[in-house]
Amino acid sequence: MEKQINFMDLLRLYLHRWWVLLIGILVGGIISGVFTVFFVTPMYVSAGSMYTENSNDVVAKDVKDVNLNTLMVRKELVQTYAEVLTSNVFLKKVAAESGLGYTHEQLLSMITMSSKNDTEILVISVESPNPQHAYIIAQVITNLAEDQISSVVEGGSVKLLDEPEYPQTFSSPNIGNNVKTGMLVGLLLSMIAVFLVEMLDNKVKDAEFIAKQFQLPVLGEIPYFVNDSKKDEPAFKKA
């Protein structure tokens, strides 16, 4: 007969096997922490920001004149400048100027450009396992950006707002979050293991087990006698 288990049975099972769940949590957290510290390469980010503008665009001076179209133009301007600064032509200049031996394809995978809160401010971030390389590349990009934008975009210009800073600590991985994730995974796996062991265990434990599984009343229990060879006398053993 298929074994049946309800929510309360499951809850009692987990409360009874709480130590298994605790071990799963500890083991999961420890494994995740050790793996993160010793096997995951830390990454460093150096970021700078620039203000983008275009003299050919008619920008409203009065707040009343600012409309959706104006906001869309400003947002598209940032996206345009980001495309210019991630082009192969510009990244080859950055690779040559930095002198770190990176190709333009490698630089492209390291650089992230985004608009700050949907404004005209362009945030340039460089991620690398080497903090010095991240800082140098970010510096080179901000230094060359103004000339590149003005030469490609008619009337385009950028102004440096925040210079890139040397990263003092790694940005990833987040050891705390990884440990928490490992603990959660350990808990889930231990819960699954406890559940499967219980479902696959078909041993008759007591009279209550029989009555519940077969939905039949128990009329009585028959004691089981075994022979103890050492004492050579019958002994009573509960079934």
Q: What is the pLDDT of residues 62-91, one digit of tens each?
A: 444 555 566 666 778 899 999 999 999 999
39 exposed, middle or buried (CB, 10 Å; 0-12, 13-18, 19+)?
exposed
The pTM of the whole model exceeds 0.85: no
| CA–CA separation, 69 and 190 (whole Å) | 56
- Would you place residue 239 in the very low, low, confident or very high pLDDT band (cuts 50, 70, 90)? very low
Average pLDDT over residues 97-106: 95
Residue 79: both structure tokens together: 């996206």
